[in-house]
Structure 1
């Protein structure tokens, strides 16, 4: 399968290249005419394409979804701060001692970075958050020596932090089409799409101009 815009573009490009080949042949003929005593008075044959009408059968194969390249699923600083607040709430503390606080914040920051990478790699926000919550609960109990209900803490982190994760947004959906004749023959006629194109040739010529200072410039302009 091929992207629809690439397929249509390739057809238009092929017609342009066909015109180029035709012009090169006209140039070759012009050189021969110029060297002939009688033919040099004749006009040079040249093909001009006008209103080329094409009917192209295709079938939609699938839609290819393209997502934003610079995907940032979470705000790391805010996510870390919210997790730290949850740990304080669970233990009903306004703060931890300095040593515990420093270790907890370092552990949270590391796990937040791992969470971000995991979401980007798997695109599975739910499972990634569950794993993050389990690791935070494990590290919290190891660092603080608090006796807490680990499953309850995991659920609380997962529920409270789920809204902080931004889903990956699609930026474009590109249809892929089936164009091979042998494949199209196997598809029901009602499932085929007929693309009708009308191409009009518009030539361009180089036009050279000179300003008052003698500077020459060339531009491509319509014939």
Structure 2
């Protein structure tokens, strides 16, 4: 089976490539005509696909559908490490003492687990991140003896951790069709779809003109 969009696109592309091959042949003929005393007055033969109508039989194999990829909103190790670093930098210390460090890493891990569960179950990432930042800041200030600005700490956590949260990804699965003749022969006629497709040619040509500044401009415009 193939994707329906790729199959129809491939047909249209093949016709465009056929037009290219025809134009190259017309160019070759034009060069020969130009060298002949009589033929140079003749019209150059050129293929033009004004309307190409196609009837394409296919059978639907799989209908298109959207599905969500397994959602992992955060990388816990990276997220916990970054949270710890933000608190340490806000405290303007090179390192915490062992007791503070152990308590801090533990509370961060607990809050990260809660945040991850909330993100997986809901859509409002900013709201849950804000709750995470407030809880972490509040618990941190309860174990750290130095006085720090609570609001500033919450703001630092929100702004620095937000880029680490991933959004849910929806994957679109295209409709797949059966196009092989030997397979279509095995399918009941009532289960085969006839796709009517018409291709209208709108050729393009280079148009050269001179602007107000005396500069030559070239634009690709419809014939």
Contact conserved, 2:209 with 2:217, CA < 8 A, in 1? yes
Alignment of 1:66-81 (within 5 A): 66-67=66-67, 71=71
Are residues 1:105 and 2:75 paired? Answer: no
- Number of matched pairs: 156
Contact conserved, 2:56 with 2:196, CA < 8 A, in 1? yes
Tell me, in whole angstroms, the C-alpha distance in 2 between the residues paired with 1:42 and 1:70. 66
Alignment of 1:188-207 (within 5 A): 188-207=188-207
Q: CA deviation at 1:99?
A: 10
Match of 1:54 in 2: 54
Q: What TM-score, normalized to structure 2?
A: 0.57
Structure 1 residues not aligned, in runs of 5+:
77-97, 120-167
Structure 2 residues not aligned, in runs of 5+:
77-99, 121-167
Cα deviation, 1:149-206, whole Å, max 9, x if unaligned, reads xxxxxxxxxxxxxxxxxxx674634201111111111111111111001111111111
Tell me, in whole angstroms, the C-alpha distance in 2 between the residues paired with 1:43 and 1:49. 18
Match of 1:44 in 2: 44
Label 1:70 to 1:215 Cα distance change in 2 as closer, same or farther (>3 A).
farther
Q: CA deviation at 1:24?
A: 0.5
Tell me, in whole angstroms, the C-alpha distance in 2 between the residues paired with 1:71 and 1:65. 18
Contact conserved, 1:65 with 1:170, CA < 8 A, in 2? no
Tell me, in whole angstroms, the C-alpha distance in 2 between the residues paired with 1:55 and 1:62. 21
Contact conserved, 2:69 with 2:170, CA < 8 A, in 1? no
Q: What TM-score, normalized to structure 1?
A: 0.57
Cα deviation, 1:82-120, whole Å, max 9, x if unaligned, reads xxxxxxxxxxxxxxxx9997576344246468879xx8x
Tell me, in whole angstroms, the C-alpha distance in 2 between the residues paired with 1:99 and 1:32. 86
Cα deviation, 1:20-72, whole Å, max 9, x if unaligned, reads 10010011011111111221121111111121110000111113545467956
The RMSD of aligned alpha carbons is 3.8
Tell me, in whole angstroms, the C-alpha distance in 1 between the residues paired with 2:63 and 2:111. 38
Q: CA deviation at 1:16?
A: 0.6
Match of 2:25 in 1: 25
Contact conserved, 1:33 with 1:39, CA < 8 A, in 2? yes
Tell me, in whole angstroms, the C-alpha distance in 2 between the residues paired with 1:23 and 1:200. 17
3-state DSSP class of the match of 2:63?
strand
